[in-house]
Copies of this chain bind each other. A is one copy, B any other.
Amino acid sequence: MVFDRNEFVQRLTSCRDAMAKRGVDVLVDSDPANMNYLTGYDGWSFYVPQAVVVTLDDDEPLWIGRGVDVGGARLTTYLSDDSIIEWPDHLVDNPDEHPMDFIGAVLAERGHGNAVIGIERDCYFFTPRCRDALKTALPNASFVDTDRLVNWVRLVKSDAEIEVMAQAARVTEGIMAAFFDAVEPGVRECDVIAKVYGAQAGGTTEYGGDYCCVAPMMPTGTGTSAAHLTWSDRRFVKGEAAFLETAGVRHRYHVPMVRTLHLGAPPQRLLDTCKAVVDGIDEAIAAARPGSRCEDVEAAWRRTIARHGVTKKSRIGYSIGIGYPPDWGEHTASLRSGDETVLEENMTFHAVCGIWKDDWGLNISEPIRISKAGGVRFADVPRDLLVKT
């Protein structure tokens, strides 16, 4: 157990408070990050339907998943065996019967047939068929979309979570150092990624790394005009740039980072854009104080880069914490125009400032924690364009 029982009780209380406010009796949540947050559950089983079920009055949440994953639930959650329920294996990839039929039947048996049931209408791994199955199994229940209820509860981190993220940040630093060391003209991209993965899993001598929920993304050359490419067998050549975007991870908590590396003397346009971006991030971080709004942070960035003649239309960051594939973002607060979320201490963000042009780009980011004095960087990695000559 990474966190003590009190931490989970606190999380459960916050979740129930949010449910009560929305008039929800029973929450069915299949988001693996939310399942981990509520119970500690950690297994690569989210490719089959599963859920954590929270009611307003049961002592513990229920974990309901595939039989072969019950062992993992016993090992990784704080739940008693009675709260761990398995669905039978013939339901895997079965066109006629679905695991959510089973989960719906469990809810009916437990007396929730007339309840207000909260579901997540837009979360990964909860498909239209999942919702259809629950509605069929519980014809007299009413269903409400809880709009990422648990994700919003996750927004402000506990001190214990911040400590885990600080450990992840040490791994992030090691990854970026490995990246810088490995890139050389003539080296294959895949061999650079091998070193990146090594640093990501190996972590530090004090503690190991966990898997990152996103594959390392490393667009190179003209590929730097694209945001989410991974890598190839290509060999690096002098005079080109590469981004690396990945995260140090500890107990599923992600501290992501992007850096851009240039092999050889960089073109002036890249240096100029970099100066604008670094200034912009500095101003954005300074503006990330408790009481400010998310949109104020983005406005500070936009004002600053405008002075350098640079513009950018996409958001510049989002809340981070626990991550499972496909995304380390929490899908709640965004650093962008129009987001009026008020910052509080111990919220954590990935401020990511990519500039994409037709055939080149620059991408630099900082993972930060909101403190009384403004944003604080989690990781200590050189902030400018990385240049290797």
Report A66-81 residues with CB < 8 Å from chain B CB.
67-72, 74-76
Contact (Cβ within 8 A) B226 A69: yes
- Cβ of A23 to closest chain B Cβ, rounded Å: 19
Quick one: CB contact mask for A178-195 with B, threshold 8 Å, 1 for yes?
A: 000000000011110111
Contact (Cβ within 8 A) B67 A314: yes
Q: Tell me if A202 is interfacial: C-beta within 8 Å of chain B.
A: yes
List B contacts of A130 (CB < 8 A). 122, 128
List B contacts of A47 (CB < 8 A). 124, 326-327, 329
A residues contacting B by CB (< 8 A) are 42-47, 67-72, 74-76, 89-90, 92-93, 95, 98, 119, 121-132, 145, 147, 188-191, 193-203, 207-211, 214-217, 222-223, 225-233, 313-315, 318, 325-327, 329, 331-332, 334, 336, 338, 354, 356
Instruction: Take A210-B230, A211-B216 as given contacts and tell me if A121 and B126 are in contact as well, using a CB distance cutoff of 8 Å.
Output: no
A sample of 6 cross-chain residue pairs with beta-carbon separation below 8 angstroms, ordered by A number, consists of: A43-B227, A43-B230, A75-B229, A190-B208, A197-B197, A326-B326
New contact pairs (8) apart from A121-B129, A198-B198, CB-CB < 8 Å: A89-B313, A90-B336, A92-B334, A128-B128, A188-B208, A190-B203, A210-B230, A211-B215
Contact (Cβ within 8 A) A121 B128: yes
Contact (Cβ within 8 A) B228 A69: yes
List B contacts of A216 (CB < 8 A). 211
Contact (Cβ within 8 A) A127 B123: yes
CB-contact partner of A127 in B127, B217, B326, under 8 A? B127
How far is B121's CA from A132's CA once the two chains are assembled, in angstroms?
9
List B contacts of A122 (CB < 8 A). 98, 127-130
How far is B212's CA from A201's CA once the two chains are assembled, in angstroms?
14
